[in-house]
């Protein structure tokens, strides 16, 4: 028994030496016969549908937020359960005017064809578009139970992404983005009708 125990110990030591040698060779850039190969077997993207749009995207807001989000479990030490995450999110929000909302009486041409009165729909905000290159988990402290749960889950950051989108959307609503889009849309139409020697007047 003592012989087999020594043999097993020698085998373990040899395996550890081989593993360290392989890791060192890999770090030094030595070509190994059992190197890692990436194989992409994904199917090509397929066009499912085409939708006509009638929106004039007149302004884009760039936003950034740092989330300090803590999930605390009452009466349980943080090293056992709970987590705190620092999450950096950056993205854009578009402001646009949907011309499909124009009714028949919203554009009135004068009898002499030299002026037009336009009632524009209000500008709207699109959903936030997160920039994946600038959005990342900066740090995260988790309890033991949360680490085990994350190992069995594939959406541990989904809540952070959703919270970041909510924050960016709220910031866009509080900004002057919609007002800027409305002004830019009016300026575009003034230039468009002006090229046809027509004066445009906007009514609310």
The structure tokens listed for 170 are 């709220």
This prediction has a pTM of 0.66
All structural domains of the chain with their residue ranges:
1-31, 48-202
In DSSP notation, 102-116 reads --GGGEEE-TTSSEE
Can you give the pLDDT at residue 48?
A: 79
Can you give the pLDDT at residue 101?
A: 77
Can you give the pLDDT at residue 84?
A: 75
Can you give the pLDDT at residue 137?
A: 87
Can you give the pLDDT at residue 133?
A: 93
Can you give the pLDDT at residue 68?
A: 87
How many angstroms from the chain centroid is the CA of residue 196? Answer: 42
How many angstroms from the chain centroid is the CA of residue 115? Answer: 44
- Say if residue 183 is exposed, middle or buried (CB neighbours under 10 Å; 0-12, 13-18, 19+): middle
Can you give the pLDDT at residue 152?
A: 44
**pLDDT tens sequence for the chain (204 residues):** 555 555 566 666 666 656 655 555 555 555 555 556 778 788 888 887 777 678 889 999 999 999 987 766 555 445 454 577 889 999 999 999 998 878 888 889 888 888 999 999 999 999 999 999 999 988 877 654 454 455 444 456 888 899 999 999 999 999 999 999 999 999 999 999 899 999 999 887
Can you give the pLDDT at residue 71?
A: 65
Q: How many helices (H) and strands (E) does the chain have?
A: 4, 8
Q: Sort residue 35 into left (φ over 0), alpha (ψ -120 to 50) or beta.
A: beta
């Amino acid at each position: 028994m003592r012989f087999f125990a020594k043999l097993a110990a020698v085998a373990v030591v040899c395996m550890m030496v081989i593993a360290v040698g392989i890791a060192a060779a890999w770090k030094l850039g030595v070509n190994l016969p059992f190197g890692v190969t990436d194989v992409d077997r994904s199917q090509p993207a397929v066009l499912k549908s085409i939708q006509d749009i009638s929106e004039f995207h007149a302004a884009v807001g760039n936003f950034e937020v740092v989330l300090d989000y803590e999930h605390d479990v009452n009466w349980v030490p943080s090293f056992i359960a709970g987590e705190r995450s620092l999450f950096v999110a950056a993205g854009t929000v578009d402001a646009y005017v949907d011309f499909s909302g124009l009714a028949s009486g919203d554009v009135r041409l004068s009898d002499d064809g030299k002026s037009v009165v336009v009632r524009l729909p209000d500008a709207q905000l699109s959903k936030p578009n997160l920039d994946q290159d600038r959005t990342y988990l900066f740090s995260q402290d988790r309890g033991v139970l949360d680490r085990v749960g994350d190992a069995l889950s594939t959406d541990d950051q989904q809540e952070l992404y959703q919270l970041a989108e909510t924050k960016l959307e709220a910031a866009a609503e509080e900004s002057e983005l919609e007002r800027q889009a409305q002004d830019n849309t009016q300026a575009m139409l003034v230039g468009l009708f002006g090229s046809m020697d027509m004066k445009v007047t906007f009514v609310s």
